[in-house]
Amino acid sequence: MTEPRPLLRAAADRLRAVGVASPEYDAGELLAHVLGTTRGQLLLLGDIGPEQVRRYDGLVARRAAREPLQHLLGAAWFRHVEVAVGPGVFVPRPETELLAGWAVDQAAAVAATGRTPVVVDLCTGSGVIAKSIAHEVPAARVHAVELDPPAHAWAERNLAGTGVELRLGDLATAFEDLVGEVDVLVSNPPYVPLEAWESVAVEARDHDPHLALFSGDDGLDAIRVIARRGLVLLKPGGVVGVEHADAQGESAPAVFSAVGRWAEVRDHRDLAGRPRFVTARRAHPDPESPASVGGWDA
């Protein structure tokens, strides 16, 4: 029989030695998973049996090989929801919760006027942003699209019973039936430059789908598509929010500014003070301007 404290200490030391960013946290989450309890309850437990120690050692070995913690647990928590994750789908990151919170606030503001918010999540991956919005703004009509079939299968599982309308398709062409009707457009697209391959964390590089990570030489290809597609899908006055890399705090907003017809383009920082996502509002047509002749659709 083994006490939890030395077991946790040895596991954390093992994870720290190979460069895992949060060794104590990961060691605790894995042991709690094996024992069917919470991390906060671990030190209140008695001795751990040999079979449980064996299972725990196997999970720690896999984490030391840089398999994502969430894959080992089978789930990821995000804001107020949980989603199943594993091979074939991008693992949600905590910093994306800020973008989701922004989208929740925007949808809630529309709902407060008595209208039904129409929300679209492009590149939905596991479906976590769409699920969060549907959970926190029940009045919203939430739609999501994913191009990669394995990721779409995870999203289908995670969004079952939520009311979110999920599609398999390309962000550049999806939702022709919603043209000009969307209030809030949100996306955590691929944004890693191809040249940044070596700088990507091992967990992401070796286990997240490359389709969810890389987006052209400068990492902005998908964001350029969203900046154009947003003008088609959003109603005048509708808003878009898009996550980007911390090195893209100027270049991502510049994409929207270059396209034109976007107002209130601004960047937002995460809790660590790093540039994290850009937002913009589709400008209302000016009846005096030539651009308004023949309508305002892109």
Query: Are 149 and 49 in a shared domain?
Result: no
Is 236 within the bounds of a domain? yes
Check residue 41 and give its pLDDT.
85
Report percent pLDDT > 90 for the chain. Answer: 74
Place 288 in a pLDDT band, splitting at 50, 70 and 90: very low
> Per the domain annotation, does 298 fall within a domain?
no
Specify whether 148 is located in the same domain as 285: yes
Residue-level pLDDT at 100: 98
Q: Is the pLDDT confidence value at 290 over 50?
A: no
Band of the pLDDT at 238, cuts 50, 70, 90?
A: very high
Same structural domain, 42 and 169: no
Cα torsion through 98, 99, 100, 103, rounded to 10: 120
115 and 50 co-located in one domain: no
The total domain count for the chain is: 2
Considering the domain boundaries, does residue 79 fall inside one? no
Same domain? 184 vs 287: yes
How many whole angstroms separate alpha carbon 118 and alpha carbon 85? 26
Does position 289 have pLDDT exceeding 70, yes or no?
Answer: no
The predicted structure's pLDDT at residue 196:
66
Give the whole-angstrom CA distance, residue 79 versus residue 97: 6
**Do the domain assignments include residue 282?**
yes
**Domain final residue, candidates 65, 94, 111:** 65
pLDDT band at 297 (very low <50, low <70, confident <90, very high): very low
Domain of residue 171: give its range. 86-292
Largest CA-CA distance found in the chain, in angstroms, rounded: 80
What pLDDT sits at residue 225? 95
Q: Does residue 138 sit in the same domain as residue 52?
A: no
Indicate whether 74 belongs to any domain: no
**Predicted local distance difference test score (pLDDT) of residue 215:** 67
User: Could you report the per-residue pLDDT of 42-89, keeping only the tens digit for each?
Assistant: 877 778 899 999 999 999 999 999 999 999 999 999 999 999 999 999
- Same domain for 182 and 52, yes or no, is no
Residue 76 lies in a domain: no
Q: What is the CATH number of the domain that holds 220?
A: 3.40.50.150
Rounded to 5 degrees, φ, ψ at 41 are -95, -5
The DSSP 8-state label assigned to residue 285 in this structure reads: P
Does residue 187 belong to any structural domain of this protein? yes
Same domain, 36 and 143: no
Q: What pTM does this model have?
A: 0.87
Give the pLDDT confidence score for residue 197 in this predicted structure. Answer: 60
Q: Are residues 133 and 172 in the same domain?
A: yes
Q: What's the DSSP call for residue 147? A: S
Tell me the CATH number at 18. 1.10.8.10
Which pLDDT band holds residue 117 (cuts at 50, 70, 90)?
very high
Judge if 162 and 255 occupy the same domain. yes
Q: Are residues 133 and 35 in the same domain?
A: no
Model confidence at 218, pLDDT cuts 50, 70, 90, reads confident
Do 52 and 172 fall within a single domain?
no
pLDDT in tens, 160-209: 999 999 999 999 999 999 999 999 999 999 877 777 666 667 777 766 77
What does 97-139 look like in DSSP terms, one character per residue? Answer: HHHHHHHHHHHHHHHTTTS--EEEEES-TTTHHHHHHHHH-TT
